[in-house]
Amino acid sequence: MADRGLKLYYSHNLNPRVAVAVARHLKAPVEFTRADPMGSDKHWFVPINPNTRVPVLVEGSHSLWETDAIAMRLAALTTPEFWPLEHAVEMMRWVSWSAHHFTQAGGTFYFENLIVRRYQFRPVDEQALLSAAEDFATHAKVLDDTLAKRDWLVGGKLSYADFRVATALPFAEAASIPLAGYGNIQRWHDRLLEIDAWREPFAGIA
C-alpha cells in the first residue's frame, strides 16, 4: 500500500487503545502520535477533532474521529476481512451493543476505579458503580452465553467486533470489572491476549 501519510493520534485510554491495537494488528502504515487532547494539546487539537478526544486518524487534509470509523477505514485500506462487509449487519450489532451496553458498563468501572481515583477531581461515584455492576451482570451473561457456542463473535473468525466488545477487558483486573464466573468470556479474552497487538498495543511507542 502506498504511503498515504496516515497519522494516528492516541492516548493510553480505552478507545484510543482499541484504535492503536487495530492499526498494529492490521500493520497499517500509520505514524503513531501520542496526544493530550483535553489538556496541553487542546489548542491545536480542536481543528482535527472538535470533540477534543482521541483517537483521530489524519489522512492528508482529512481527519477522522471515532474509534469505530477509524477501524473501518484502516480495515478497508489494509485488511477488509477484519470488518467483513458480508457480515455488516452482525458487525453493526456487536459494535453498537458494545457502545451501549457491555463497554458502557465496563467503562464505568474503568472511569470510576482508575481515572477518578488517579486524578481525584471528584469522589468516586459509588452509585454509578452499583448500577454498572447490575448492567454488567446482565450483559456479561449475554456475551458469555454467545461465546459458549463460538470462538469469535462474527463470521467464525476474529474481526473488529471482538476487539470492540473487549474494549474494557484489558483493564478488568486494575478496574475491578466483575468478570469472575464468566468462563467463556475469560477464555475468549485469553485468545485475544495471544495477539501481540491486543496484548501490548503500545509496545515500542510512547
Ligand X SMILES: N[C@@H](CCC(=O)N[C@@H](CS)C(=O)NCC(=O)O)C(=O)O
Residues 6+ away with beta carbon under 8 Å from 61: none
Q: Which is nearer to ligand X, 14 or 91 (CB)?
A: 14
Q: One symbol per residue from 11 to 40: x for binding ligand X (CB under 6 A), - otherwise; what is it?
A: x-xxxx-------------------xxx--
- Peptide linkage before 201 cis (omega within 30 of 0): no
Footprint (CB under 6 A) of ligand X, residues 37-56 = 37-38, 53-55
Q: Which is nearer to ligand X, 37 or 106 (CB)?
A: 37
Q: Are 119 and 183 in contact (CB under 8 A)?
A: no
Q: Which is nearer to ligand X, 35 or 147 (CB)?
A: 35
Residue closest to 15 by CA, chosen among 119, 151, 168, 147: 168
Cell numbers representing residue 176 in the block: 475491578
Shortest separation between residue 148's beta carbon and ligand X, angstroms: 28
Shortest separation between residue 66's beta carbon and ligand X, angstroms: 5
Give me the amino acid identity at 201. Answer: P
Footprint (CB under 6 A) of ligand X, residues 63-102 = 66-67
Give ∠ CA 118-160-11 in degrees, rounded to 5: 30
- Residue indicated by cell numbers 494539546: 41
Using CA atoms, how far apart are residues 97 and 85, in angstroms rounded to an integer?
18
Asked if residue 104 binds ligand X (CB under 6 A), the reply is no
Q: How far is CA 32 from CA 85, 106, 152, 169, 202, in A?
A: 27, 26, 28, 23, 10
Shortest separation between residue 2's beta carbon and ligand X, angstroms: 26
Give ∠ CA 93-13-138 in degrees, rounded to 5: 40
How many binding residues for ligand X (CB under 6 A)?
13
Q: Which is nearer to ligand X, 31 or 36 (CB)?
A: 36
Q: Which is nearer to ligand X, 20 or 192 (CB)?
A: 20
Shortest separation between residue 111's beta carbon and ligand X, angstroms: 9
Shortest separation between residue 72's beta carbon and ligand X, angstroms: 12
Q: Could you list the residues that contact ligand X (CB under 6 A)?
A: 11, 13-16, 36-38, 53-55, 66-67
